[in-house]
Structure 1
Amino acid sequence: MRQQSTRKRSSRFRIFRLLFFAGLLMTLACIFLVSTLGSQKFGGLHKLILEAAGPVQKVVASGVNYLGSFKQEYLDVLAVGEENKRLWQELQESRALVHKSREAMATNARLRKLLAFKDSSDLPMVAATVIGKDPSMWFRSLIIDRGTSDGVFKGSPVTNSEGIVGQVLTASPHYSKVLLAIAPSSAIDVLLQKSRVRGILKGTGSQTYRLEYVLKTVEVEEGDVVVTAGYGGMFPTGLPVGVVSKVIRKRRGMFHEIEVRPSVDYKTLEYLFVLQRKEPVPQ
């Protein structure tokens, strides 16, 4: 029943719309004919038709104006959207260029620093680039793009402008693995620069060293500089290694417990120097 009543109302509404539009078209046609073919004097019928058709024309004109303004606003919105896309793309491109520029400036600064270090040193060395890392705890190491064909052998010291990085663990003709000085398996003969007292610097696996075998009778303070001792011909004498960051004085035992902060930032290693040798260091 509800569906039938709904259908009846829908059909009535359609008939009403058809009659309305038919009447509107007839009214407009009458106005056109009277305005075109009639005399210049307005009769009663002419005035009546004009009075009846005026509101209809006003509504139609308002609707047409509204649709025109809506269309223009829609086109304006589309234009703004396209402009936003274009500006966003330009912003992304500008950001990429700024990033590249900053990276180039940072790389240039690092290379200038390395070049200055090489020019100030009398040691024969070859530049190398880090191409890989070994994340293992015990053998913390790097892979560099230099090998035996470049005068790089097992035991060759590796450094940068800040200080000692480590030593070559193994080498092939064109690539080498570098054992970092912070690796627990690393041990280097060093000196406290101020007192010239010798000790053994061992890695901890983290961003610190441990300086061992320094007697308690030796005065050690935070900030003391630690350099390579040069014993055994492995590392040249006097290369910077780190700075004493903590001294633990205990009642028992013969030696200090000393923590050393590396002079090298191991998190940002990219370019290195390998001190060249004509042949491998005897093991």
Structure 2
Amino acid sequence: MQRILVLILLAATVLAVAACSSPSSPGQEDIERARDSYSKGFYLEAEKDYERYLQVEPQGEFRKEAWDRLAEIAVSIKGDYDRAVVLLEAMYLELGGDPDTAWKIMFQLGEVYSELGNTSKAIEAFEKCLDQAMGNPEHTYKTQLRMARLYRSMGSYDLVAATLENCADSAADDEAKAKCLYELAQSYTFISSWSQAEKALSTLLGLKNISDETRSLAVFLEADIAENDRDYAKAKELLESILHTYPNPKVVETRLANLPEVVPEPLPLVPPKQ
């Protein structure tokens, strides 16, 4: 009797182990194999298993992971932007109900369309991003910055200015506002609108809670404007003030070395006393 009980217990143990080792869902082996291949750099193998997982697990809990990895492989590994468009649009249809996820998908889609040179589609994607960014100032400002750069590449400087002014007005903090104003000032310099650029930089440098890097970038742009005005003394003073805070001090050193000599103005002649 005791021997029979031991055999029953052994059989139950074997069944329990077998149950634990078997996949809990049809695509479990696929997702685990995909992760393993991805971690080892076998991206094509990972791609096949992620695709299979999506096919066999229509309600699977790891579908977002699979979509993300497939889009990443298409863009970063294979450089297949046409495939990335298809993947991201399908991903948006499935996961776009969550605003945060929808924003990320659309932002990536906008970047992919930009790489393809399809500016109109890129703008369309970023406009959808703005809709999804409602109530999220960080997402809003990042989208507006990206849209402004696209408008600038198109030469639409009226749209650049309007987008960046709105970006600065709606920014949640000084650092974000400063980045919008910096882009605005830089854009004005591209069309030689120096007074407008100086106005944007003046507002930027009046902000209190901004990083040293952002402040030094603004001062560097101020030095550009001073040099354009041939005010080399001011340009020199501005560049020297950021020599230790600019992201790449060598650039500042080179600019200083290449500035024209500041020749002091001759003193006016004083007529001799009679």
TM, length-normalised to structure 2 = 0.24
Greater relative contact order structure (CA < 8 Å, 6+ sep): 1
- Select the structure that is richer in strand: 1
TM, length-normalised to structure 1 = 0.24
- Select the structure that is richer in helix: 2
